Amino acid sequence: MSLITTLARLEAIRAGRAQPAATVRHRHLSERPLVLVPLTTAGEAGAPLGALVGRDRDAPRLLVVPQPRDRDLRSVFLAELADIVLPYLESFADDVELVEGKEADPETGRQVTVERELCADAPQLIVPSRAGVDLVRLLGRSTRFRRTAEQDPETAYPAPPRVPLLGRWFTHFGERSRVPGASLLLAMTDLLSRHWATGQSSLEDQHLGALLAWIDPPGADGPTGAEAALRAELGRDAEGQLLCPPAGPATDPAFDNRLLAPAIERYDRARSALAAAEDGVAADALLANLSAAEREIGELVRSRTLPTWESVWRGLDLLRELPEAAHVPDRWKGDRWSFTAHRDRVASGEPPQPRIDDAVTAAQKLARREKEQAKLDAQEALDDPLVLAARRLGGEAFVGEVVDVTMTYTESKRPSPRPLITVRTEDRPHLGEKAKVHRSLDGKPQTAQFVGAEEEDGGEDPGGGPLLVVLRIVDRMGRGREPALGSVPEKGDRVCFTLFEHEPRGGPKLPDPENTPWTHGGPPTDPSPLPAADPVTEEDLL
C-alpha cells in the first residue's frame, strides 16, 4: 500500500467516510451494462441456486434452481441465463466500423493493408464481487464442453441448445477480466475500491455492503462509515438473518440452514407427492402446492439478491458521477477488439477454449497482461493527478517549473536540436545516470535524458529543498535545425516528467504453437478431442 493510499484511508477513518482514491473514473462504464447477481449452493463447485440478472434496474429477471442438486433444473437455469445473456451480447455484434490494419499476406509474407471489422461498442457484464467474476469463469468452464442433443444424440444429459455457447462467452469474459484495465467483466467491489479509499482494510473492502457503507453512508447525521459498515457486516434481524445479505455467490449459512433448507424440503415433498398423484384432480392440487413451494424458494432467492442488485446499481450511480479519464476510450477499444475477435472465433466455428493453455498461449497471455499493466499504470498516472501523486512520492515522476532553457545541438553534419532545460521541482525523483524521462506532448510521449541535478539552495537543508534537474530533450522536435514550435517547454512552463514509459513496448514475438521448441515440450500433440463433460454420480441426482 503506497503511503498516499494509507494516508487517504486514515483520513477516511477520521472523517467517518471514504475519501477519493481517484479524481477521474479509470474504467469504462457502458451505457447499458448487464448486471448479474448470482447465488450458489454451498458444498458444490459452481452449483447455481439462482440469480437476478438484467439491464433494467427496475425489472431484474429472477432465475431460480428450486432444487440445486437436480441437474435438469440446473440446465433450465442455464438455458434461461443463456437466453438473457446471449441476446444481449449479440446485440453488439452487428454494429461495426471498418478499421485499417496491417497484416502479413499469406502468400508473399509482405505486410499489406487490410480492412477489419471492429464492433462499435461492446457488452459489459457487472457482478457484485470478485467471487462473482470467479463464478462466471467457473460457469464458463462447466458449460463450454457440454454437448447439446443436436451435437451428440447419445449424450446422457444433453445441454440446452445455447448453453455451451454461453460457456464459451463466459470463459472469454473471465479470461479478459484478468487483463489489467479491461472492462468487459467487472466486479463492483473492485470498481469502487479503485476510486475510493475507505477507513478499513482492502480485505474488508471486498464486502460490497461494507464498502458502500463507507463510500455512501446513510444521511449526514446518520452513522459513520465504520458504524454503517459494521451493521452491513454483522447486523441480523430477529430471525437471525443478516440485514445485508452477502453479495454472493455464497450465501450465509444461517440462511441456508434456517430458511432455504426447509423450503427446499417442502419443495421436494411437493414434488414427490405430485409424482405419486393418482388422478388428475389430485394432481392439480399437488401441482399448485409444488408451484407454491417453488415460488417460496424464488422469493427467498429474491430477498437475498435484491439488496445486492440495488447496491450494484447504486455503485454505478456513484461511479458515473466521476468524469471519465482521458485514456479510458483507448483501453475500451482494446475490449471492443477482444469482443470482436471472439465474435469471429465463434462465427468461424472454432472449438471452445481448451481446459489448459498451451505453452505459447500462456506466454502470449502473460506478455500481453504485463504490457497492459504497464500501460494502465502509465495512463492512470497521466490521467489523474492523484495517481500521479503516488508516483511522484515514489520517485517515479516529478512536476516542476522550467527555470532555464539552453539550446544545444548534436555534432553531426546536420545538427539536430538538443535543448537543455532546467526544471525546479519539490519532488525527489530517483534519477540514475543517463536515465530517460518522458512527458506527454499533445498526447504523445517526448523523451529527455537526465543530465544532472543539484539542490537549489546549495544543500542548506539536505534532502528537503527544491531540486534543479537538468534534462536534455532528445526527440519530437521536428526534422529541422530549430525545434518545431511548441515542442520545447519555455521558461515558466509547468512540466511533468515520468521515469516510466507512456507507451510500453511489447516483448518479442512468440513462435507459433506448432513451432514450440524442445525446451517447452515441442509442439502440442494433436489438439485433444473435445473433453468429455463431467461425469454424474448418484449424489448429483434425486
Partner 1 sequence: MITSVGAADAAFDPGAAAARVTERILRDTMSGAHRGVVVDSPPGAGKSTLVVRAALELADAGRPLMVVAQTNAQVDDLVLRLHEKRPDLPVGRLHSSDADAFDRALEGLDNVLLSDKAPALAGLPVVISTAAKWGHVKPSDAHWEQAIVDEAYQMRSDALLTVAGLFDRALFVGDPGQLDPFSVVGAEQWAGLSYDPSASAVTTLLAHNPGLPQHRLPVSWRLPASAAPLVSDAFYPYTPFRAGTGSDDRRLSFGVPSDGSGPDRVIDEAAVSGWGLLELPPRLTPRTDPEAVRAVAAVVRRLLDRGGAAVSERSPDPVPLTADRVAVGTAHRDQAAAVRAALAELGVRDVVVDTANRLQGREYDVTVVLHPLSGRPDATAFHLETGRLCVLASRHRHACIVVCRAGVADLLDDHPSTEPVRLGVTVKFPDGWEANHAVLSHLSEHRVPHRP
Partner 2 sequence: MSEYLSGPRPGRGGPGPEPNQSAGPAGTLGAVHGDGPEGAPALRQRLAELRGPGVSAKPLDARALAALAANPGCERRALLDGAGVDKTALASALGAPAPFGQSQFAFTRGHAFEARVKGDGGAELLRLVRERLDPSAPEPPPGGARVPDLAATGPQGRTGRTALALREAAAAAAEDGAWTLLDHPMLALEVAGTPAFLEPDAVVVHPDGTWTVVEIKSFPMLDGSADAAKVGAAARQAAVYVLALEDVAARLEPSPQVRHRILLVCPKDFSNLPTASAVDVRKQRAVTSRQLGRLTRVEEIAADLAPGACFSPELPAERLAETVESVRAVYTPECLATCELAFHCRSRAREDGAVTVLGRSARAELGELSGVDAVLAAAHGEAGDAADPAVAALRRAARLREEALACR
Residues that bind partner 2 (CB under 8 A): 1, 3-4, 6-11, 13-14, 20, 23, 41-46, 68, 129-131, 138, 141-142, 189, 199-204, 206-207, 226, 230, 233-234, 246, 250-254, 256-257, 261, 355-356, 384-386, 388-390, 392-393, 426, 428, 463-464, 534-537, 539-540
Contacts (Cβ under 8 Å, ≥6 apart) of 334: 179, 181, 182, 372
**Choice between 366 and 484, CB closer to partner 1:** 366
Q: Which of 60, 52, 61 has its CA nearest to residue 128?
A: 52
Separation CA 46–CA 53 (nearest Å): 17
434 binds, among partner 1, partner 2, none (CB under 5 to 8 A by kind): partner 1
Smallest gap from Cβ 94 to partner 1, in A, equals: 32
251 binds, among partner 2, partner 1, none (CB under 5 to 8 A by kind): partner 2
**Choice between 324 and 475, CB closer to partner 1:** 475
Beta strands 34-40 and 125-127, pairing class: parallel
**Choice between 258 and 472, CB closer to partner 1:** 472
> What are the strands, taking DSSP E only, across 94-184?
96-104, 111-119, 125-127
Q: How far lies 186's CA from each of 61, 359, 384, in Å?
A: 20, 27, 21
Place of cell 534532502: 463
200 binds, among partner 1, partner 2, none (CB under 5 to 8 A by kind): partner 2
**Choice between 347 and 356, CB closer to partner 1:** 356
**Choice between 117 and 358, CB closer to partner 1:** 358
Contacts (Cβ under 8 Å, ≥6 apart) of 423: 398, 400, 401, 402, 403, 468, 469, 470, 471, 495, 497
Q: Torsion-angle region of residue 195: left (phi > 0), alpha (psi -120 to 50) or beta?
A: alpha
204 binds, among partner 1, partner 2, none (CB under 5 to 8 A by kind): partner 2
Buried b / exposed e along 393-420 (16+ C-beta atoms within 10 A): eeebbbbbebbebeeeeeeeeeebbbbb
**Choice between 432 and 535, CB closer to partner 1:** 432
Smallest gap from Cβ 25 to partner 1, in A, equals: 22
Separation CA 436–CA 473 (nearest Å): 10
**Choice between 482 and 534, CB closer to partner 2:** 534
The 10 Å Cβ neighbour count of residue 483 is 17
In the numeric block, which cell numbers belong to residue 57?
Answer: 434496474
Contacts (Cβ under 8 Å, ≥6 apart) of 230: 210
189 binds, among partner 2, partner 1, none (CB under 5 to 8 A by kind): partner 2
345 binds, among partner 1, partner 2, none (CB under 5 to 8 A by kind): none
List contacts with partner 1 (CB under 8 A).
Answer: 178, 180, 356-360, 362-363, 366-367, 369-370, 373-374, 395, 430, 434, 462-463, 507-511, 515-522
**Angle, vertex CA 314, rays to CA 308 and CA 315, nearest 5:** 90
The 10 Å Cβ neighbour count of residue 134 is 16
75 binds, among partner 1, partner 2, none (CB under 5 to 8 A by kind): none
4 binds, among partner 1, partner 2, none (CB under 5 to 8 A by kind): partner 2
CA-derived radius of gyration, the chain: 29
**Choice between 21 and 376, CB closer to partner 1:** 376
Beta strands 185-187 and 125-127, pairing class: parallel
Smallest gap from Cβ 23 to partner 2, in A, equals: 5
CB 37 within 8 A of CB 45: no
Smallest gap from Cβ 177 to partner 1, in A, equals: 12
Smallest gap from Cβ 227 to partner 1, in A, equals: 28
**Choice between 155 and 373, CB closer to partner 1:** 373
Smallest gap from Cβ 389 to partner 2, in A, equals: 4
**Choice between 66 and 419, CB closer to partner 2:** 66
Smallest gap from Cβ 133 to partner 1, in A, equals: 13
362 binds, among partner 1, partner 2, none (CB under 5 to 8 A by kind): partner 1
CB 42 within 8 A of CB 296: no
Smallest gap from Cβ 173 to partner 2, in A, equals: 18
